Structure 1
């Protein structure tokens, strides 16, 4: 199929393309408005060993994942939820709280998504402080040089709207609608077996068009009797 034929189909089926774009864009907008807003806040903590050698560094890398698992254990989340008087279940909180353990720079990043803009940073700080307290309790049975400390480097950041991203959703919906509209246009064109142009006649019938009957003008037909009367 030549490019001119693609353009001809799009000109003929432009309404289907536009309607598909409008439908998907409006659907994306409605979906965004129905989503519960979530605000994201992050707090960073640095894990520091009391002595700096290769052996302890390897242990530190392995332990950081253990710290993460301890901090995200259900009893710890339930304790924090009770302290802050949250109205969310532990299961919901565990889905919206994450801790990234970056062994390269020895950082633990607490990330929280919460519907209350004021509670999001409080929850991030609470999870981080509780994790630091757990690490400190693990040091009780260790010698001074074997202890691993955790200190805060960046308190919870001001919350930003994480969800919904209405503009992005609408743009993505419109783009999806454009693709669907193009596909719909070609499907409608394939189902339409009427002959509209000389090219259609040559392609489907195999005959060359040598002439065409011009369309009649109703206005000129009405004027003809009057002219004859004159």
Structure 2
């Protein structure tokens, strides 16, 4: 019988679990606040603000000057835009940008700071450059637009690459987001606190109530001694583990 008791599956009373969480709600809230504050401080002190500058260009193909432009021509021009996007990050273009701007970056490092996008069904290409120096971000973006424009004209045999919008000087950091990081930190703190409380609740196998004695040991409780409210529990008054109680009871039997 003792072996069967030790191998019993762990059952969780959801109402007791909810009450355990409710009684520890202040700890959960404090953990969330502490984690949010830690994330806020880490974002402000240890993360470098990055600035993003964007420039836009439009590739003017040869058939654009023809009055008899067909839908097929427009589709072809839209598909070629993907080729233009790939040319932005080619080594010759980036080498020229590094040479002109004098930035201390390798080609691979510069690639990681460049984002190229094209809105659906358009031939307008947007080049975004991220840098810790807002002036450098603007300078690199404009230099990149000019360099890739020359490359497109030389390779794709187009008429011209027109500037839709020059890069502007960013005034606010694009990353990191202090509010976002603070919110994520607070949520993680709350989840971790809840997880620890649930883990402690699940691993706690002490017998606390007469119902526990009847359920786990299959014994009838004849009497119980309630602890006076406001009296601190001593080590002797704390519940013992179910396994220890079962072993002790087995020896007596």
Q: TM-score, normalised by structure 1?
A: 0.76
1:37 offset after TM fit, Å?
2.0
Residues 150-169 of structure 1: CA deviation (Å, up to 9, x unaligned):
21122224424122112211
Greater share of strand: 1
CA contact (8 A) 2:96 2:147 kept: no
State the Cα deviation string for residues 67-91 of structure 1 (Å, max 9, x = none). 2222211121121112111122221
Residues 1:40 and 2:57 aligned together: no
- For 2:39, the equivalent position in structure 1 comes to 28
SS at match of 2:186: helix
Count matched residues.
212
Q: CA offset at residue 36 of structure 1?
A: 2.6
| Cα 1:186/1:200, change in 2 over 3 Å | farther
**1:124-165 Cα deviation digits (max 9, x unpaired):** 1111122222233347xx5xxxx4432112222442412211
Q: Deviations over 1:21-59 (max 9, x none)?
A: 356435534553423321111111123332332343233
Q: Deviations over 1:175-199 (max 9, x none)?
A: 1221222121111012222334555
Task: Specify every segment of 5 or more residues in structure 2 that has no aligned partner in the other structure, as ranges.
Answer: 1-11, 232-253
Residues 197 and 117 of structure 1, relative CA distance in 2, 3 Å threshold? farther
Mapping of residues 1-230 of structure 1, within 5 Å: 4-14=15-25, 17-18=28-29, 20-21=31-32, 24-26=35-37, 28-29=39-40, 31-32=42-43, 33-49=45-61, 50=64, 51=66, 52-102=69-119, 104-138=121-155, 147-159=158-170, 160-197=172-209, 200-201=212-213, 203-205=215-217, 207=220, 212-215=225-228
How much does 1:98 deviate? 2.0
Q: What is the DSSP-based 3-state SS (H/G/I as helix, E as strand, rest coil) of the residue aligned with 2:116?
A: strand
For normalisation by structure 2, the TM-score amounts to 0.70
Q: Give the superposed CA RMSD.
A: 3.0
